[in-house]
A and B are shown apart, each in its own frame.
Chain A
Amino acid sequence: MIEVNNLHKSFGEAHILKGVTTDFEKGKTNLIIGQSGSGKTVFLKCLLGLFTPDEGYISYNGNIYNDLSPDEKRNLRQEMGMVFQGSALFDSLTVEGNVMFPLEMFTKQSKSEMQDRVNTVLKRVNLIDAHHKYPSEISGGMQKRVAIARAIVMNPKYLFCDEPNSGLDPKTAILIDNLILEITQEYDITTIINTHDMNSVMEIGEKILFLKNGHKEWEGTNKEIFKTDNKAVTDFVYSSELFKKVRQMYIEERN
């Protein structure tokens, strides 16, 4: 479980995060949504320890990140998996090399043990046939799946995803969403996804945090988002005609 308390972050004059307080439960997919510039990426990077908050704290299973020693921080980071928006695969390594990288770097496993683990996770993301290919030789959707495989290869406790569906076709986006949901439940990890994709919100949003101008504007589940009267949320989530109709149908069905 991750607890965030009164998180503030500024860059020069720009006050990006203005006192965000929330928590993310284990075994659930937690989604952070909000308009561009609302502070989602800064919030995610604070959670990852890439940015140090100016005020407030983040606690991982009761351990406050800023109070940890450098070694403890390093150990905690090894319990985190991250799927970047652009996948961030290492160009010079093959698919297999990318997935094996954290194992080679942080474990003392033998080559065959590492190979077994890599094969297991590559099978899990249906990429076993692409193990010898380089990132430039595979599609965007496959790159995302490699990034997921690399993120889960160390059995992380926390999985962070920054817009995992961006640049993907709707069918592949659904595949990625389902894969993240299955992995979250299967490995019982705390997953936090930064997204703009409303399909993801509806499909896998077990908890949704809506940020607006650096504030927590609303939080709830994908069921509750249909019922909310918060104007900022409804304006953002139901900005397309399709979603407006879906919501209308839901309300009519409920009545």
Chain B
Amino acid sequence: MRVNIIIFTNRSLFYMNYIASIGSYFIMIKEVFRKPTKWSIMKKLILKEIDELVFGSLGIIIFISFFIGGVVTIQTALNLTNPLIPESLIGFAARQSVILEFAPTFTSIIMAGKVGSYITSSIGTMRVTEQIDALEVMGVNSLNYLVFPKIIALMLYPFAIAIAMYVGIFGGWIAGVFGGFTTSASFIEGIQLDFIPYHVTYAFIKSIIFAFVIATIPSFHGYFMKGGALEVGKASTTAFVWTSVAIIILNYILTQLLLG
């Protein structure tokens, strides 16, 4: 009986910590938009973050999208063994997979690792070296100064996703045509077949929401971390896990809401 009570209490504390963290996260979001930093300084910070977070990620986004598009095309082609199914379906399947899922969601998971760990470690290091305390002592709203430019910079993330869509389909074309799985004409016919522009809108809406998650969850883990260099590393890992979990859950909810 006593053991059961202890286990129950420990579990309650465990869940309470999660609930408290979620509450702290939303309080942090509110603070980010309170007492804005002087525009002349904020402008420079936003441009710097656009360069680091968005332009700095284009290389890896293009690389991943190209090969993902190629692999999707090859796998679709290998699974279409029925001669009654038109060859243009390969292009159609590649387009749908890339636009609806691979470009916005898969790329966001990768970005949660690349950009998210950068955000957590940079803010976490500022916490460890008392740079955040220095901002607070000066009377600066440190959350606005550190997190707001990242949120605004990542609002350009849909542009990166648009590039990922284009490169992914291009990768599919290269793999399909040069791998001998389809002809160029069939593939192009497939990518034009039954095109619904709303699917691109849906992907961009998802990207914007994922961008907000990628900017804020790693910031939360960096800003509220305690300890030294080792804890900065641990916070980066935790941030990646929770950002990925949030993206996966939001992906399901948004798909249900926007396409269901």
Contacts and interface: CB of A to CB of B under 8 A. Distances in A.
B137 A48 contact: yes
A105 B130 contact: no
Interface in B120-155: 125, 129-131, 133-134, 136-140
Nearest to B48: A92
B79 interface: no
A88 B138 contact: no
Contacts, number: 47
B137 A106 contact: no
Contact of B133 (A84, A90, A101, A104): A84
B251 interface: no
Given A104-B41, A105-B38, A86 B133 contact: no
Q: Is the interface of A mostly helix, strand, loop or mixed?
A: mixed
Given A84-B130, A86-B129, A88-B129, A105 B37 contact: yes
Contact of B130 (A75, A78, A88, A102): A88
Interface string A74-107: 1101101010111011110000000001101110
Given A104-B38, A105-B41, A88 B140 contact: no
A50 interface: yes
B137 A50 contact: yes
Contact of B139 (A77, A84, A104): A77
A90 B137 contact: no
B134 A88 contact: yes
A82 B133 CA distance: 10
A102 B138 contact: yes
Contacts of B37: 105
B40 interface: yes
Contacts of A74: 139
B130 A85 contact: yes
Contact of A78 (B125, B129, B138): B138
A116 B37 CA distance: 24
Contacts of B138: 77-78, 101-102, 105-106
Interface string B11-51: 00000000000000000000000000110110000000000
Contacts of A82: 133-134, 137
Given A74-B139, A105-B140, A84 B40 contact: no
A90 to B, nearest CB: 6
Nearest to A78: B139
Contact of A80 (B41, B129, B131, B137): B137
Contacts of A86: 129-130
A82 B137 CA distance: 7
A51 to B, nearest CB: 11
A147 B133 CA distance: 13
A105 B125 CA distance: 22
B129 A50 contact: no
Nearest to A147: B134
A7 to B, nearest CB: 18
Contacts of B134: 82, 84, 88, 90
Contacts of B136: 50
A101 B138 CA distance: 10
Nearest to A98: B134
Nearest to A92: B48
Interface string A46-69: 001110000000000000000000
Nearest to A74: B139
Interface string A120-139: 00000000000000000000
B242 to A, nearest CB: 25
A89 to B, nearest CB: 8
Contacts of A78: 138-139
Given A77-B139, A78-B138, A106-B139, A88 B38 contact: no
B139 to A, nearest CB: 4
Contacts of A160: 137
A90 B138 CA distance: 13
Nearest to B131: A88
A77 B35 CA distance: 15
A88 B139 contact: no
Residue from the set B134, B136, B140 with the largest chain A CB neighbour count within 10 Å: B134
A217 to B, nearest CB: 27
Interface in B173-230: none
Most buried by A among B41, B125, B130: B130
> 7 tightest A-B contacts by CB?
A77-B139, A88-B130, A88-B134, A74-B139, A82-B137, A84-B130, A88-B131
13 contacts: A50-B133, A50-B136, A50-B137, A75-B139, A77-B137, A77-B139, A78-B138, A82-B137, A86-B130, A89-B131, A104-B40, A105-B37, A105-B140
Given A77-B138, A78-B138, A106-B138, 8 more contacts: A49-B137, A77-B137, A77-B139, A84-B130, A86-B130, A101-B138, A102-B138, A104-B41
